Amino acid sequence: MFDFSLTNTYSDLDLTRIEAGVNLRYEVSKRLSLLGEYRWIDLDDEAPYLGDLTGSVSLYSIAVGYRF
């Protein structure tokens, strides 16, 4: 068995993460649909001693769905 009780003592990283998103689905027909998604992620590094992880990311995705 592994003892993970001391894992949190190896680092004092202090991050704040806020994430929001929206997705849409449009049915073109009974079998075919189009999907779109937007996701926004904001990171705030409270203790940047190795590297600063502060910033935001916008992710976009589209997909086509088909029902058999």
Which of 21, 56, 54 minimizes the C-alpha distance to 42?
56
- For the segment 10-22, what is each residue's pLDDT rounded down to a tens digit? 566 677 889 999 9
* Integer Cα distance of 35 and 48 in angstroms: 37
Give the DSSP per-residue string, 16-31.
Answer: EEEEEEEEEEEESSSS
Q: Give the Cα separation of 7 and 52 in Å (integer).
A: 22
In this prediction, residue 2 has a pLDDT band, given cuts at 50, 70 and 90, of confident
DSSP H or E segment with residue 55: strand 55-66
pTM: 0.64
